[in-house]
Amino acid sequence: MHPLSNYAARDVEALLHPTTNLFTHRATGPLMLEKAEGIYIYDTQGKRYIEGLAGLWCTGLGYGNQEIVEVARQQMSKLSFTHLFGGRSHEPAVELAEKIKQLAPCPTSKVFFTSSGSETNDSQIKLAWYYNNAMGRPKKKKIISRMRGYHGVTIASASLTGLPVFHADFDLPIAGILHTDCPHHYRYAEVGESEADYATRLAASLEAMIEREGPETIAAFIAEPIMGAGGVVVPPDTYFPKIQAILKKHDIAFIADEVICGFGRTGNWWGSQTFGAEPTTVSMAKGITSAYFPLGALTVPENVYEAMVQESKKLGVFAHGFTYSGHPVGCAIANATIGIYERIDIVGHVRKVAPTFQKRLKGLLEHPLVGEARGAGLIGGLELVSDKKTKQSFDGKIGLGAKVVALAQAEGLICRAVAGDTIGLCPPLIIKDDEIGAMFDMVERALNGAHAWLRKEGHLG
pLDDT tens digits, 226-282: 999 999 999 999 999 999 999 999 999 999 999 999 999 999 999 999 999 999 999
- Residue 396, classified by CB atoms within 10 Å of its CB into exposed (0-12), middle (13-18) or buried (19+), is exposed
Residue 248 and residue 330 in one domain: yes
76 backbone dihedrals φ, ψ, rounded to 5°: -65, -35
Q: Of 309, 343, 377, which one is at a domain's C-terminal end?
A: 343
Strands 379-384 and 416-418 come out as: unpaired
Q: Of 300, 328, 343, which one is at a domain's C-terminal end?
A: 343
Specify the DSSP class assigned to residue 252: -
Strands 110-114 and 370-376 come out as: unpaired
Dump pLDDT digits (tens) for 170-183: 999 999 999 999 99
Residue 329 and residue 281 in one domain: yes
Per-residue pLDDT at 420 = 82
Would residue 179 count as lying in a domain? yes
Would residue 5 count as lying in a domain? no
Alpha carbons 333 and 327: distance in angstroms, whole number: 10
List the beta bridge partners of residue 256: 223, 282
Would residue 144 count as lying in a domain? yes
Residue 311 and residue 385 in one domain: no
Alpha carbons 243 and 205: distance in angstroms, whole number: 10
Would residue 77 count as lying in a domain? yes
Residue 304 and residue 406 in one domain: no
Taking 50 as the pLDDT cut, the residues of the chain under it are 1-2
Instruction: Work out the number of other CB atoms within 10 angstroms of the CB of residue 121.
Output: 32
Residue 333 and residue 425 in one domain: no
Q: Of 343, 366, 390, which one is at a domain's C-terminal end?
A: 343
Residue 311 and residue 394 in one domain: no
Instruction: Work out the number of other CB atoms within 10 angstroms of the CB of residue 435.
Output: 18
Domain that holds residue 75: 67-343
Residue 132 and residue 74 in one domain: yes
Per-residue pLDDT at 4 = 62
Strands 177-180 and 142-146 come out as: parallel
Would residue 4 count as lying in a domain? no
The strands making up 40-43's β-sheet, listed across from edge to edge, are 33-37, 40-43, 48-51, 413-414
List the beta bridge partners of residue 387: 392
Give Cα 236 to chain centroid, integer Å: 19
Residue 268 and residue 351 in one domain: no
Would residue 270 count as lying in a domain? yes
Give Cα 160 to chain centroid, integer Å: 13
Alpha carbons 341 and 289: distance in angstroms, whole number: 10
Residue 174 and residue 111 in one domain: yes
| Contacts with 427 (C-beta within 8 Å, 6 or more apart), sequence order | 39, 50, 51, 52, 53, 54, 357, 378, 435, 436, 439
Could you tell me the pTM of the whole model?
0.96
Name the domain count of the chain: 2
Alpha carbons 195 and 178: distance in angstroms, whole number: 24
Per-residue pLDDT at 3 = 54
Q: Could you tell me if residue 291 is left (phi over 0), alpha (psi between -120 and 50 degrees) or otherwise beta?
A: left
Residue 300 and residue 359 in one domain: no
The CATH number of the domain where 301 resides is what? Answer: 3.40.640.10
Q: How far is CA 196 from CA 203, 257, 374, in A?
A: 11, 23, 17
Would residue 239 count as lying in a domain? yes
Specify the DSSP class assigned to residue 233: B
Residue 103 and residue 153 in one domain: yes
The CATH number of the domain where 409 resides is what? Answer: 3.90.1150.10
Alpha carbons 386 and 395: distance in angstroms, whole number: 9
Residue 182 and residue 299 in one domain: yes
Sign of CA dihedral 349, 183, 147, 300: positive
- Long-range contacts formed by 352-359: CB under 8 A, 24+ apart: 353/378, 353/431, 353/432, 353/433, 353/436, 354/267, 354/378, 356/433, 356/436, 356/437, 357/427, 357/431, 357/436
- Long-range contacts formed by 310-317: CB under 8 A, 24+ apart: 310/134, 311/130, 311/133, 311/134
